Amino acid sequence: MSTSLPLRAALVSVLILAVFLGLWQIGTMGSGPVADMDPDYAKLMGQTATQGTSAMPGPGAVGAQLWQHLRDPFYDRGPNDKGVGIQLAFSIARVFAGYLLAVLVALPLGFLIGMSPLMNRALDPYIQILKPISPLAWMPLALYTIKDSAISAIFVIFICSVWPMLVNTAFGVASVRREWLNVARTLEIPPLKRAFTVILPAAAPTILTGMRISIGIAWLVIVAAEMLVGGTGIGYFVWNEWNNLSITNVITAILLIGVVGMILDQGLARLARLVSYPE
């Protein structure tokens, strides 16, 4: 029992993966060819019935497909056949665009709400009503008013990532310790400088928590949004491959969506660690 905890945890993780892959393999092996079937009847049946193989790809098939994608992620053979890297890049670009817009709106507005009890109360009902609206519910309205599907997707990302940032910024700014503000006041720090040198660093950890929640939500929503608007993006890719009945590609895409989401989250987590301070 002297081995370290991380090592043992890694061992268990690998074991879980092995069991999962094993069960997957067994589940998709099929039962072998079925003998003596009327050819006319066989035509009506799927491959599971006729050849005994599973329609669900096994881990080997998915792995091979994943390798194919990773070997050439950026090929472009027309609108319906682009490399998965290009699709992911489209999605990430949309997420960043919408997210950046949300940052530009949420941080100043959050500061205002956090610093002014009046604005806090005045805007609270709107935030409470707008916050729980599913971002996809805005899609028709966005398509109708903006008349551009690509920008509509960006708008949807904006609208879904703005709330956690706004609420957290306002909360972080409002709960800056009174004595820190008093220090700034006795040092006659002008308001704008006070906002940047005292309130911002004090509220930064809370703001970053909001930004981390937002990027997570934005990545969740982009897949659904792209299934609706189509054209490009990993969400469109998933839906397109479903229409192609290529389950292998769908599973591959699901895996990649998870990996990219994790990278985005970890990036923000690292940023959060940079601005956090122990008291």
Residues that bind other proteins (CB under 8 A): 177, 179-180, 182-183, 185-189, 197-198, 201-202, 204, 275, 277-279
Q: How far is the CB of 203 from other proteins (least distance, A)?
A: 11
> Which amino acid is located at 57 in the chain?
P
Three-class secondary structure of residue 157 per DSSP: helix
Q: How far is the CB of 181 from other proteins (least distance, A)?
A: 9
Question: What are 76's strand-pairing partners?
Answer: 82
Q: How far is the CB of 111 from other proteins (least distance, A)?
A: 17
Q: How far is the CB of 277 from other proteins (least distance, A)?
A: 4
235 and 227 Cβ atoms separated by less than 8 Å: yes
268 and 208 Cβ atoms separated by less than 8 Å: yes
Q: How far is the CB of 270 from other proteins (least distance, A)?
A: 17
Place of tokens 């956690």: 164
Q: Which is nearer to other proteins, 94 or 194 (CB)?
A: 194
Q: Which is nearer to other proteins, 15 or 183 (CB)?
A: 183
Q: Which is nearer to other proteins, 8 or 193 (CB)?
A: 193
**Which token pair is 26?**
């067994």
* CA separation for the pair 141, 136 (Å, rounded): 10
Q: How far is the CB of 185 from other proteins (least distance, A)?
A: 4
**Which token pair is 79?**
């609108």
233 and 150 Cβ atoms separated by less than 8 Å: no
* CA separation for the pair 44, 39 (Å, rounded): 9
Q: Which is nearer to other proteins, 109 or 204 (CB)?
A: 204
Residue 264 phi, psi (nearest 5) = -60, -45
Q: Which is nearer to other proteins, 184 or 250 (CB)?
A: 184
Q: Which is nearer to other proteins, 80 or 186 (CB)?
A: 186
